[in-house]
A and B are shown apart, each in its own frame.
Chain A
Amino acid sequence: MEDSFIKALSNIVGEQYTLSDPESLACYGYDSTPELQSRPGAVVLPGTAEEISKVLALCNGTGVRVTPRGSGTNLSGGSISFDAGVVLQTSRMNRIVEIDEENLTATVETGVITSTLHREVEAKGLFYPPDPGSMNISTMGGNVAENSGGLRGLKYGVTDDYVMGLKTILPDGEVLKTGGKVVKDVAGYNLNQLLVSSEGTLGVFTEVTVKLIPKPQAKKTMLVHFPQLEQAALTVSHIIAARIIPATLEFLDRTTIKCVEDYAHVGLPLDVDAVLLIEVDGHPAQVEEDAAGIRDICERHHCSFFQTAASTEEALKLATARRVALSALARVRPTTILEDATVPRSCIAPMVKLIQDTAKKYDLLIGTFGHAGDGNLHPTCLTDERNPDEIKRAHQAFGEIFDATIAMGGTITGEHGVGVAKKKYLPKLVGESGLRVMRGIKGAFDPRGTLNPGKIF
């Protein structure tokens, strides 16, 4: 990148926040996605919406591409610049602008960490439900761009169920305001929801207004063992069919259980096919009733063990099994390819079975865990990037898994986004007309193709 351009960037955001040394560029060439690696031309860390606007206008005018980035926890390569453009990191914009207790909304700058918002609103007896696995690191802007989910998705939905208003800078530097604090708003196209999950390809968010709800009064956490996979899967379907909606209904398969136990020693059984972690919350009486109903269903489906946490500490301990799943798997082999296949809830059992069979077919170690309640599974392939043959087999296996997912009426990503990692599967999912409409939208927002090029399609 030319010195004069770097100088122009630093005139906007300051020298301290304009990076172009090889060391910095190397450190901004990755996010959490395995295998993907590149090197941007420069990195800027703007501190205000105005600076973002000026940076975008400059880049748009000179044909330089811009890749927005929060904390770089993206799992589909969405925050990597693959064309030596500018990486724009929003972390410095981290103020909670307002918690509006009358309207039950919170307005935050885009770089606010998700769990910081949780802490602040919960201190006021309020609740922001989306809780992605990376919530202690991920930024609100990134959550909105990727439409992040989390462990509470089953009952409470995902990020786009909570985003009420956005301030977005368009690629030419113009400010676009969408939505706001009003609960009902049907004026024109729903640009607000369109921007959620746009993966940084339409604009850069500077401010997000989210809906808050009252904090649930009570919670109960349960851990259930199942000797057979089918029983666990049927239990999931029957809990939902019984009109009980737990906040959390998580699943771990045998491979995952073994890895978690080997590393974390949380007391999981090694002789069962599946474990479910179930959490119900809400009014105390309802929580009691739901927990009793769940216990009944689990027992009717021959669970071998049913444990209810007696205290908050014990609940945390039980939840640990699920929370450490990925980390436990990651300790087994150096390269962890975590996928995001999502099927209708009724297809959980055949899907898990298919993943296991595919792993066997390609001689791979794949552990599956995930949000069984909403059908969002994370088959995680444990590989070593130094073994190209193994990596090739892993990609072949995932190709088959995604074909099956689509055939079952599922989707190629439930919460991580398409980015570059899932690009090749998108046409199969949305078809030619889907792609044409999406490309048209991109063109309307970003005619020069400045923002996050090469992502999604």
Chain B
Amino acid sequence: MEYVKLINCMRCGMCLPHCPTYKETFLETASPRGRVALVRKFQEGELVESEKFLEYVSLCLDCQACASACPCGVNAGELVAEFRCERKQEQGLSTMEDLILRKLVPHPDRLEAATAPLRLYQRTGLQKVVRSLGLLKVFPSALGRMEGLLPKLPAAPLRQTISEVTPAVGEQKGTVGFFLGCVMSLIFSEASLATVELLSTLGYKVVTPKDQKCCGAPNMLGHDIDGLKDAARFNTDLFQSQELDFVVTDCGGCGAELKKYGHHLDGEAAATAFSTKVRDISEILATEAATLKDKLKPLPIKVTYHDPCHIAHCQGIRSQPRALINLIPGIDFRELPEADACCGSAGTYNIEKPEMSDRVLSRKVQNVQKTGADYLVTSNPGCLLQLKKALAEATPPVKVIHLTELLQMSLNA
């Protein structure tokens, strides 16, 4: 890690009010400024990698809200992640990490096969039995949490059912590649179908290469840089072999990662060219606002919007989703207090650090309740998983949907 990146932190504290873990604890060690100080002191040999040290460093949600807030351009979240990656490269992957990050995640067919028992579990009614008998209490808590978060899975992953080419409706305006994303395809296939439908309705031919692999974000989270690079190379080659105007994704996490391929592959020309083509679905749709507006029908519902970290902080997309929601006639849009604060999902953080995740989530839920909205709109699968469950259990319950599902509702109203 470049030392200068650490000393660039002028310790002004501008990051403090934006850090979800600082807001919960008021502790310097749980703040971006504090984490930069910890890593710096480690580099300077003043601190060692103790259990406490790792605990403090790993409390970061990597939501990057600190980077948005930093006046001097220090990205504390990324510095901490980089530090963890460097340590991981020295230590190597554990057997479990190797199994998940190298043998499972990069192979969509294996990933889909792995979730097949879950589909069976839900469809046979076994899930109902397990839940009603409280059997989950018997399982290790992490497994129980995972099971509890899982909504009803689609009959089959979207990657298996979608056609490689979806033609444009009417005159063709352009061709876009569709990057599916693992969780979107496996769990939220209906939202992704809405994405494809919107694109084709607006005159885009949508190409969805079936061979595509995971974007590599889980490898990044697992600090497996080599795995990330493999994924980046594979997807770049696959999509760059097609004649595409843009590569579109409706997953905030994938979008943020794909846009960094150029950086991950040290500026390789093909990867950089690929990254510049990547668009979040809201960016594409916002440019089509005029056309879209004519097609949307009234929806008399109260709606609020949660900014996923990977959309707002990593990609700087804030106005487009709001503008799109406001295109819908009759909609009552209410701004969410602390809209761009993390919901606590943060990859696998909600499973690894349940206590802090719950505190961050509970703040989000209270803020949603303050708006009085019937629907919470967002556009990242991690947020969808986390918020769907929490807001279904809230009183009154709030429905959580993807941005493209809301727009599709209005199209078909």
In the complex, what's the smallest C-beta–C-beta distance from A391 to chain B, in angstroms?
A: 13
CB of A23 within 8 A of CB of B38, answer yes
Write the chain A residue with the least CB distance to B12: A32
A327 to B68, CA, bound (A): 13
In the complex, whether B50 has a CB less than 8 A from a CB of chain A is yes
Complex interface: chain A residues within 8 A of B34 (CB): 27
In the complex, whether B4 has a CB less than 8 A from a CB of chain A is yes
- A324 partner, pick from B11, B41, B52, B71, beta carbons under 8 A: B71
In the complex, whether B393 has a CB less than 8 A from a CB of chain A is no
* Listed residue (B31, B41, B72) with the most chain A CB atoms within 10 angstroms of its CB: B72
Write the chain B residue with the least CB distance to A337: B10
A92-B26, A386-B7 are known; give 10 further A-B pairs, CB within 8 A. Answer: A19-B27, A23-B52, A23-B53, A24-B27, A30-B11, A31-B11, A32-B11, A324-B71, A326-B12, A336-B72
A134 to B33, CA, bound (A): 15
CB of A30 within 8 A of CB of B52, answer no
CB-CB contacts of B48-77 with A at 8 A, as 1s and 0s?
001011001000000000000001110000
Complex interface: chain B residues within 8 A of A194 (CB): none
Complex interface: chain A residues within 8 A of B53 (CB): 23
Interface size on B, residues (CB 8 A): 28
Complex interface: chain A residues within 8 A of B52 (CB): 21, 23
- A27 partner, pick from B4, B37, B50, B72, beta carbons under 8 A: B37
In the complex, what's the smallest C-beta–C-beta distance from A94 to chain B, in angstroms?
A: 8
CB of A137 within 8 A of CB of B13, answer yes
Complex interface: chain A residues within 8 A of B72 (CB): 327, 330-331, 336
* Chain B 105-140 residues near chain A, CB threshold 8 A: none
CB of B11 within 8 A of CB of A45, answer no
In the complex, what's the smallest C-beta–C-beta distance from B62 to chain A, in angstroms?
A: 19
Write the chain B residue with the least CB distance to A136: B17
Complex interface: chain A residues within 8 A of B38 (CB): 23, 26-27
In the complex, what's the smallest C-beta–C-beta distance from B73 to chain A, in angstroms?
A: 5
A231 to B71, CA, bound (A): 30
CB of B11 within 8 A of CB of A26, answer no
Write the chain B residue with the least CB distance to A30: B11
Complex interface: chain B residues within 8 A of A31 (CB): 11
In the complex, whether A398 has a CB less than 8 A from a CB of chain B is no
CB of B14 within 8 A of CB of A137, answer yes
Complex interface: chain B residues within 8 A of A60 (CB): none
Complex interface: chain A residues within 8 A of B8 (CB): 330-331, 334
In the complex, whether B47 has a CB less than 8 A from a CB of chain A is yes
A385 to B14, CA, bound (A): 21
CB of A32 within 8 A of CB of B10, answer yes
What are 17 A-B interface contacts by the 8 Å CB criterion?
Answer: A19-B27, A22-B50, A26-B37, A27-B38, A30-B11, A34-B10, A71-B16, A72-B13, A73-B13, A136-B17, A137-B13, A137-B16, A263-B73, A327-B14, A330-B12, A330-B72, A334-B4
A113 to B14, CA, bound (A): 12
In the complex, whether B332 has a CB less than 8 A from a CB of chain A is no
A330 to B10, CA, bound (A): 8
- B28 partner, pick from A72, A136, A137, A324, beta carbons under 8 A: A72
CB of B14 within 8 A of CB of A89, answer no
- A334 partner, pick from B7, B28, B47, beta carbons under 8 A: B7
